[in-house]
């Protein structure tokens, strides 16, 4: 478990990684700024810029999925008010090259969220 704080000491991001059973699931929670304009579209664009394909964008439910074009790995994105929940499922064996490739893409996505202007 990793907890990240902003400059004022407020929790910015919480990460929980589970490495015990396939598929390997990682959960991330962030607090979005109230003034963030169209965060769903911004998040989908961030994911696509890293190489994922955004699918099933439902603004009313606040959900969509990012799909890895090379595998069955997916990231579920859910927006509940100001709370953003990202759940990643990596179906690859931990020693496989595909696992490392997907993990790098997942890290790039979550880091880009943390560095974006929509997160507190």
Which sign does the torsion angle of CA 10, 35, 80, 30 carry?
negative
Number of domains in the chain: 1
Bridge partners (DSSP) listed for residue 28: 15, 86
Give me the pLDDT at residue 115, please.
87
Domain that holds residue 78: 2-115
Query: Is residue 120 assigned to a domain?
Result: no
- pLDDT, one tens digit for every residue, the chain (120 residues): 677 777 777 676 776 766 666 678 889 998 888 877 889 999 999 999 999 999 999 999 999 999 998 887 899 999 998 899 999 998 888 888 888 888 899 999 999 998 888 887
Bridge partners (DSSP) listed for residue 119: 32
Give me the pLDDT at residue 51, please.
92
Query: Is residue 104 assigned to a domain?
Result: yes
Could you tell me the strand order of the sheet in which 2-5 lies?
2-5, 11-18, 24-31, 83-90, 74-80, 63-67, 53-58
Query: Is residue 72 assigned to a domain?
Result: yes
Distance CA 96, CA 110 (A): 22
Query: Is residue 17 assigned to a domain?
Result: yes
CATH at 46: 3.30.310
Query: Is residue 95 assigned to a domain?
Result: yes
Query: Is residue 80 assigned to a domain?
Result: yes
């Amino acid at each position: 478990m990793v907890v990240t704080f902003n400059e004022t000491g407020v929790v910015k991001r919480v990460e929980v990684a589970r490495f015990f059973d396939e598929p390997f699931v990682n959960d991330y929670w962030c607090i979005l700024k109230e003034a963030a304009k169209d965060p769903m579209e911004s998040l989908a664009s961030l994911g696509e810029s890293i190489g994922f394909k955004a699918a099933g964008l439902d603004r009313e439910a606040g959900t969509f999925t990012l799909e890895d074009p090379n595998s069955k790995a997916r990231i579920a994105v859910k927006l509940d008010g100001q709370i953003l929940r990202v759940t990643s499922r990596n179906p690859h064996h931990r020693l496989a090259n595909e696992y490392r490739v997907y993990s790098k893409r997942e890290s790039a996505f979550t880091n880009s969220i943390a560095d974006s202007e929509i997160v507190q």
